[in-house]
Amino acid sequence: MYNRDRAPKQKSDDMIFGIRAIIEAINSGKEIDKVLLQKGERGDLFKEAFDLIRQHEIPFQYVPVEKLNRITRKNHQGVIAFVSPVTFYDIENYLPTLFEEGKNPVILVLDQVTDVRNFGAIVRTAECAGVDAVLVPDKGAARINADAVKTSAGALHLVPVCRTKDLKKSVLYLQQSGLKIIAATEKSSENYIKTDYSGPVAIVMGSEEFGIDRQILDLADDRVQIPILGKIQSLNVSVAAGLLVYEVVRQRAEASS
């Protein structure tokens, strides 16, 4: 069973530690995924780093020094940053370019999907199915690291990943931009193949543990479910995502034939 208090092993090239090193990394334009800050840390240099993190809107979290020490035994000076192997996009800037290119957008929204390997597998399938972008929250999402890239078979370098501070607000933006919001939930009675995916769509997937946040679920134009015929009452989220995005492919292929 996964222990939430046990920090996963990190590869040294995924991390930057030390206040000056992190300040230099941010100023040089490195894509920082997340920063861990030691609770109670003070000092002018720490404040300079913190102000820079806030200025660049980099996700951060205050943690006990013990957590930082579990991640690295080196002199981290109360700050550890995780470097992202991909560049993140802003959905409000990216979506208009899809319409300008004449595309019929398919956006995959992942709410509370935190497992790195599931995330990588989902992005791999998304790339194969021609999904235009994956939208994730900056908190409560799988960290995009070397394992995620490997599991995606490199698809994370091909599919734009859009990150947002407010997932509900971003889903509402998609809806107001003309995308049909389709939420996958076992609470629905509508078979996923019965809904219409022919126009611009955003497919929302939740985690196996928590599902989709209620506020986002309430925004959905359609709620769909994948029939479960066996005794296990849920599919792996990457398998479920694959079924839905390939239903988009199937319906659009039939419409164009």
pLDDT digit string, tens, across residues 161-181: 999 999 999 999 999 999 999
Q: Averaged over 27-56, what is the pLDDT?
A: 90
10 Å Cβ neighbour count for 50? 16
C-alpha 186/C-alpha 209 separation (Å) is 12
Considering only residues 221 and 29, tell me which one the structure prediction assigns the higher pLDDT: 221
Question: What's the pLDDT tens digit per position in 42-101?
Answer: 889 999 999 999 999 888 999 999 999 999 888 899 999 998 889 899 999 999 999 999
pLDDT band at 28 (very low <50, low <70, confident <90, very high): confident
End-to-end CA distance of the chain: 48
pLDDT band at 41 (very low <50, low <70, confident <90, very high): confident
Q: Which two tokens mark 189?
A: 């009675």
C-alpha 19/C-alpha 22 separation (Å) is 5
Cα-based distances in Å from 209 to 35, 123, 194, 237: 26, 20, 26, 10
Q: What is the mean pLDDT of the chain?
A: 90
**Residues 157/177/254/186 CA torsion (nearest 10 deg):** 80
Place of tokens 């820079």: 52
The answer to whether the CB of 181 falls within 8 A of the CB of 171 is: yes
For the chain, the DSSP string reads: ---TTSPPP--GGGEEESHHHHHHHHHTT--EEEEEEETT--SHHHHHHHHHHHHTT--EEEE-HHHHHHH-SS--TTEEEEE-SS-EE-HHHHHHHHHHTT---EEEEEES---HHHHHHHHHHHHHTT--EEEEESSSS----HHHHHHTTTGGGTS-EEEES-HHHHHHHHHHTTPEEEEE-TT--SBGGGS--SSSEEEEEEBTTTBS-HHHHTT-SEEEB----SSS----HHHHHHHHHHHHHHHHHHHH-
Q: Which two tokens mark 59?
A: 């996700």
* Residue 132 backbone dihedrals phi, psi, to 5 degrees: -85, -30
Question: What's the pLDDT tens digit per position in 105-126?
Answer: 999 999 999 999 999 999 999 9
Name the least confident of 187-196, 229-238, 240-249. Answer: 229-238
